[in-house]
């Protein structure tokens, strides 16, 4: 029975890892992609605008 207790943690971790990968793949694209892209674009535009105006004094 030692082999069972030795195999359970890797099998459980593999199951969680597979679930994580499936969740990440499913969350890519879809309806939220446009909102996520818009939020990233807004942050980049804000950072570029702040860089062009220079530091505040």
Q: What integer pLDDT is reported at residue 54 of this predicted model?
A: 64
For every residue of 12-25, DSSP letters joined together read HHHHHHHHHHHHHH
Structure token pair of residue 55 = 């530091």
pLDDT tens digits, 13-48 = 999 999 999 998 887 777 777 787 888 999 999 998
pTM over 0.85: no
User: What is the residue-wise DSSP string for 1-57?
Assistant: -HHHHHHHHHHHHHHHHHHHHHHHHHHSSSTHHHHHHHHHHHHHHHHHHHHHH----
């Amino acid at each position: 029975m030692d082999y069972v207790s030795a195999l359970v943690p890797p099998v459980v971790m593999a199951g969680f890892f597979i679930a994580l990968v499936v969740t990440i793949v499913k969350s890519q694209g879809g309806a939220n992609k446009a909102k996520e892209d818009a939020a990233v674009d807004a942050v980049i535009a804000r950072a570029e605008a702040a860089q062009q105006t220079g530091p505040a004094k």
